[in-house]
């Protein structure tokens, strides 16, 4: 599922100038104009890096290779927005422009948070994919190894001993298959344990948190049921094997369950909602600017 991305660059085209009105209104207008001019100076000083930020976000792609190349650009963009946020916070506003200042700081703060999430995402997704990569070949190898498990070849016996020989053969087949299956599962579980260790070192952004938690829960269940199955095979507890095998097979379906899919969809929708909220804040800044111009002339 592709994430909806659209970090809005702070564009401050604020003007508060006019003529006429009372002396008091003129003083108020002048104070607001000076505030807006100081804000515009900061924005103009960062105009080029802000435009680069916009280009970076527009070219964003969720492919791991693209993310890996974009990670330094996202980090630079986040740092630039932090600088802008700090400089804007240092500019005091007159009473008439305090709401505008609050809205501006809210807008840039939301952009900083979103930029940080993108920076985290750019680092997380390639690492997440790399950690999980060994699972597919390990799964294929497990199936191949289980298919190659050798069993004893039956030997000819006298008819009088056939019943006992059959029983002995079944036990021998079960024992031989158990040893081979236990060994194959053991190899697979070592890969699972390694992947689990790799996942523990990752820190997902909010949009990927459900997928990350689901993957860890899936591997925990696979490993737990796998270990129990290996133990039953090694101890020749064949009555438990069928039930444990079903549990092992079912454990791997956790990541495709409806609840897991719903959690991931909800996280992506929440992310897209944060993107839309930035646009809403930008519109509120424009509305407040227009109100000031109308009020102060």
pLDDT tens for residues 16-42?
Answer: 444 455 688 888 888 988 898 898 888
User: How crowded is the C-beta side of 96, counted as CA atoms within 13 Å?
Assistant: 23
Q: What is the mean pLDDT of residues 93-110?
A: 92
pLDDT tens for residues 182-219?
Answer: 899 999 999 999 999 999 999 998 888 888 998 999 99
The span from the CA of 151 to the CA of 62, in Å, is: 48
DSSP string of 91-140? S---GGGHHHHHHHHHHHHHHHHHHHHHHHHHHHHHHHHHHHTTHHHHHH
What pLDDT shows up at residue 263? 63
The span from the CA of 2 to the CA of 7, in Å, is: 15
First-to-last C-alpha distance (Å) of the chain: 49
Q: Find out whether 211 and 264 touch, Cβ atoms under 8 Å.
A: yes
Report the predicted TM-score, pTM, of the whole model to 2 decimal places.
0.69
State the greatest distance between any 2 C-alpha atoms of the chain, in Å, as a whole number. 123
Q: What is the mean pLDDT of residues 234-263?
A: 74
Residue 230 has pLDDT above 60, yes or no: yes
Three-state SS annotation for 146-176: HHCCCCCCCCCCCHHHHHHHHHHHHHHHHHH
Residue that is written with structure tokens 């802008």 in the block: 84
């Amino acid at each position: 599922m592709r994430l909806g991305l659209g970090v809005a660059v702070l564009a401050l085209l604020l003007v508060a100038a006019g003529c006429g009105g009372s002396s008091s209104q003129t003083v108020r207008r002048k104070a607001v104009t000076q505030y807006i001019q100081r804000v515009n100076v900061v924005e103009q000083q960062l105009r080029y890096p802000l435009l680069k930020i916009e280009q970076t976000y527009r070219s964003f792609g969720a492919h791991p290779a693209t993310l890996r190349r974009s990670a330094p650009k996202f980090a630079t963009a986040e740092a630039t927005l932090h600088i802008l946020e700090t400089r804007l916070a240092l500019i005091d506003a007159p009473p008439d422009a305090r709401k505008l200042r609050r809205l501006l700081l809210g807008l840039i703060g939301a952009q900083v948070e979103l930029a940080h999430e993108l920076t985290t995402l750019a680092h997380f997704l390639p690492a997440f994919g790399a950690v999980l990569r060994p699972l597919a070949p390990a799964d294929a190898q497990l199936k191949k190894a289980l298919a190659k498990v050798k069993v004893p070849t039956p030997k000819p016996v006298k008819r009088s001993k056939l019943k006992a020989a059959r029983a002995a053969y079944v036990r021998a087949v079960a024992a031989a298959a158990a040893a081979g299956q236990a060994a194959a599962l053991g190899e697979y579980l070592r890969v699972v344990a390694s992947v689990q260790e790799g996942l523990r070192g990752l820190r997902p952004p909010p949009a990927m948190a459900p997928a990350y938690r689901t993957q860890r829960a899936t591997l925990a269940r696979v490993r737990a049921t796998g270990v129990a199955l290996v133990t039953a095979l090694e101890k020749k507890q064949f009555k438990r094997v069928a039930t444990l095998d079903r549990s092992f097979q079912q454990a791997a379906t956790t990541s495709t369950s409806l609840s897991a899919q719903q959690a991931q969809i909800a996280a992506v929708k929440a992310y897209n909602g944060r993107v839309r909220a930035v646009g809403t804040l930008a519109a509120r800044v424009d509305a407040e600017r227009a109100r000031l111009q109308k009020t102060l002339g």
